Amino acid sequence: MKFPKQHTLEQIAEIINSKFVGDKDFPVLGMNEIHVVTSGDIVFVDHPKYYDKALQSAATIILINKDVPCPEGKALLISNDPFRDFNKLTKHFKPFKSSNISIAKSAVIGKNTIIQPNCFIGNNVVIGNNCTIHSNVSIYDGTIIGNNVIIHANTVLGSSAFYYKNRPDGFDQLISGGRVVIENDVDLGASCTIDRGVTGDTTIKQGTKIDNLVQIGHDTIIGKKCLIASQVGIAGCTIIEDEVTIWGQVGVTSGVTVGKKAVLSAKSGVSKSLEGGKHYFGVPAEDFRSKYKEIASIKKIPEILKKLKDKKV
């Protein structure tokens, strides 16, 4: 998430009431999670396990809960609670704006686009040409939709990321300030839910077709011309490359990559990155042929045990 204009390190420190290490005029351009940071971004870290990763990342401003040596060319924001202060910055730069009308005045809707009754279109939404948005669809603030997109009833675009910190008094949510981006020629079935990015974009690329009742987590990227069947759940920060087929009730964990033209059979569970161009099945998902050979072997166990027992007799 880039800020509307450049800020200084001192200005950011004042917003979150923290001390800083570095030139007070050090430029701050935005804030992002570690997997999408670039120069000028703030990244937060609050666990010693990840200090080095954050300090050595592309981010040039590290919001951290310990006094550490500042890497050359970077700056630090010292906070007793980086998670809380990252939320403060999101609220400051991307505050929630309520709406009392169905289609926000700031929304931009293209030519020949049809919006059926009872839809909600939030602030600064952009919808392209020749789209059809069926009844009861909710499109949250900042969502970008391309041309020739079809969205069926009750689908929700832009809900918050499922991202929480466990506190002694309950769970504290990391506030989402990112977007959902739907490219051209995408079809979304009924009752799908696509979460916005925490700071970046959750993206569905051109030509992908998604069935009913599919959940896609924050900051996930779905490639071009993918087919995703009903009741699939894809966690956040996942990459599904182009032309992947995912059949019903597949679950995909966070942070993995599924390679181009892979096929995931129904009810598979993806717990690690998978190479493209192969067919996968099972929990955990493995090569289709190998998995079926394994199942066939397991079925022979009773027969093998019986033969061993007969030999002993």
Active site residues: 218
DSSP letter for 101, please: S
In sequence order, which ranges of 197-270 are alpha helices (DSSP H)?
none
Q: Which residue has the tokens 């169905």?
A: 102
- Residue 164: count other Cβ atoms within 10 Å of its Cβ: 12
* CA 12 vs CA 31, 78, 156, 238: distances in Å: 11, 11, 33, 30
> 49 with 34: CB under 8 angstroms?
no
HSE-up of residue 181 (Cα within 13 Å, Cβ side): 16
Strands (E), 19-131: 19-21, 27-31, 41-45, 61-64, 75-78, 108-109, 114-115, 120-121, 126-127
| Residue indicated by tokens 């804030």 | 31
Phi and psi angles of residue 165, each rounded to the nearest 5 degrees, phi first: -110, 130
172 forms beta bridges with 165
The count of residues in the chain is: 313
How far is Cα 104 from Cα 255, in angstroms, rounded to an integer? 34
Task: Name the DSSP letter for residue 94.
Answer: S
Residue 145 · residue 127 · CB < 8 Å: yes
**What values do phi and psi take at 205, rounded to 5?**
-85, 170
